[in-house]
Amino acid sequence: MAVEYRCCEASFFIHIGIIVLLVLFAGLMSGLTLGLMSLSLVDLEVLAKSGTPQDRKHAAKILPVVKKQHLLLCTLLICNAASMEALPIFLDSLVTAWGAILISVTLILLFGEIIPQSVCSRYGLAIGAAVAPVVRVLVWICFPVAYPISKLLDLLLGDGHEALFRRAELKTLVTLHGNEAGKGGELTHDETTIIAGALELSEKKVRDAMTPLSKTFAIDINAKLDRKLMQEILDKGHSRVPVYYEEKTNIIGLILVKNLLSIHPDDEIPVKNVTIRKIPRVPGDMPLYDILNEFQKGHSHMAVVIKQSNLIQQTSNNVDDLRLDIDSQKTNEGSMKTTNPIRRWKSYPDSQNTYRSSSRGKKWSRDAEASVLQIHDAPLPKLNEDEEAIGIITMEDVIEELLQEEIYDETDVQEDQ
């Protein structure tokens, strides 16, 4: 009788130990299902590259396990289901059938679902990294059953689970990370504003940032640089002034104010006798990112916006050499006469105005005379109605759209006071 009692007692404790292990194992599988599957590959890659040193180690351990998400999901669910199904079998030998069901449901609900999922939802990264070797072993054990199911899920649902944010979602995410949102973010107001402006810049066109021609200061090419006009140019405070011919909608070039320093107002030199630089002409529906890239090339920091709808920038994915094409023809004397001063940004494989890439920037090698408008005594052209200027856009206008704030120079401050 003593031996039989000892055997029963040993069997009782063995069953209790197995029940405890099954509950803990089921809880671990349930917690890992929530903890690991809630971590997307994008989140893990971000943590592995730019997280804290501890998060980098954890993400590096978890990434190889989570890459095949459907296989991991099937493995965890199979192990969880197996442990929960085995639990009533061992409880049935200790208590009655209804007692085994009641106890198993209580244990699984409390210790196998609620507590593990609560803990893993908060510390899923650390727990997942700690048990990653165990999960690898379970994947190989359940591979004959889990792999076919995972392949079926890949076929039906697809195997891509990279949850990338759309542009609007990124903007909202950046706003929530600002310190003004009150959620513990560390981004300042200026940082969130600039990031949001950069995200919105691709949706904006030239017409959204241009200065209308009615508000633009421009001078007639036939005007004289007398004291009154020179004073007006200085009062405006611009570094570049557009030049038009006959009508303000016919912008043919620009002058640099610094080139007027050597001119005496009493000489009343005509505007057409000073250096007039060519000015690009762009359509109103041109994206701001495109014109910003062109401004960076150094051709010009000012462009004329025209209402022509068929003027399209021809781009290529991997074409780096761009130049400005000026339609021109030679006069009888051999000089160049501009017949159509519309400048188009085009791509050429063998351009003279190419740049050389360096480790610290781009250096342009081009003829300075190529950007000067050759007038001489030739009659200036008139543009078609569909090529009339409707506004002016400068690099400052694009930067203001990027910063989403006005940039005030010294002249602006004086006018506001």
- DSSP line for 102-128: HHHHHHHHIIIIIHHHHHHHHHHHHHH
In which element (H, E) is residue 68 found? none
Which of 100, 132, 157 finishes a domain? 157
CB atoms under 10 Å from CB of 394, counted, come to 20
| 8 Å CB contact between 82 and 157 | no
**Does some domain include residue 311?**
yes
Q: Are residues 253 and 105 in the same domain?
A: no
**Does some domain include residue 162?**
no
Rounded to two decimals, the pTM is: 0.59
Q: Are residues 346 and 411 in the same domain?
A: yes
Q: Report the domain count for the chain.
A: 3
What residue has token string 């030998």?
93
| 8 Å CB contact between 257 and 240 | yes
Q: Are residues 73 and 103 in the same domain?
A: yes
| 8 Å CB contact between 348 and 323 | yes
**Does some domain include residue 364?**
yes
CB atoms under 10 Å from CB of 278, counted, come to 20
The closest alpha carbon to 74, from 159, 151, 133, 156, belongs to 151
What residue has token string 């210790």?
111
The predicted structure's pLDDT at residue 193: 86
For residue 369, give its domain range: 206-416
Distances (CA, A) of 37 to 29, 43, 48, 134, 145: 11, 11, 17, 16, 19
Distances (CA, A) of 215 to 9, 206, 248, 405: 97, 16, 11, 19
What residue has token string 């030199």?
269
Q: Are residues 277 and 371 in the same domain?
A: yes
What residue has token string 């989140």?
43
**Does some domain include residue 164?**
no
Token digits of residue 185: 């973010």
* AA identity, residue 197: G
**Does some domain include residue 385?**
yes
Q: Are residues 104 and 242 in the same domain?
A: no
Phi (first) and psi of residue 408, to 5 degrees: -105, 130
Q: Are residues 189 and 67 in the same domain?
A: no
**Does some domain include residue 186?**
yes
**Does some domain include residue 182?**
yes
* AA identity, residue 224: K
Ordered DSSP codes for 332-385: TTS-EEEEEEEEEEEE-SS-SS-EEEETTEEEE---GGGGB---TTSPPP---G
Per-residue pLDDT of the chain (417 residues; tens, 9 = 90+): 554 545 566 777 787 888 888 888 888 898 888 888 888 888 888 888 888 889 889 888 898 888 888 999 999 999 988 888 888 777 777 777 777 777 777 777 887 788 888 888 888 888 889 999 999 999 999 999 999 999 998 888 876 655 677 888 788 888 888 877 777 778 888 888 888 888 888 888 898 889 898 888 999 988 999 899 999 988 888 888 999 888 888 888 889 988 888 888 888 888 888 888 888 888 888 888 888 888 888 778 899 898 764 444 333 333 233 333 333 333 333 333 333 333 334 333 333 333 333 333 444 344 445 577 766 655 666 666 667 788 999 988 888 888 888 877 665 554 444
The predicted structure's pLDDT at residue 416: 47
Q: Are residues 183 and 316 in the same domain?
A: no
Which of 130, 157, 184 finishes a domain? 157
Q: Are residues 298 and 321 in the same domain?
A: yes
Cα 136 to its chain centre, rounded Å, is: 36
Q: Are residues 336 and 271 in the same domain?
A: yes
Residue 280: give its domain's CATH number.
Answer: 3.10.580.10
The predicted structure's pLDDT at residue 78: 93
Q: Are residues 293 and 393 in the same domain?
A: yes
Q: Are residues 236 and 265 in the same domain?
A: yes
* Cα separation, 305 vs 211, whole angstroms: 9
**Does some domain include residue 163?**
no
Q: Are residues 53 and 76 in the same domain?
A: yes
The predicted structure's pLDDT at residue 359: 35
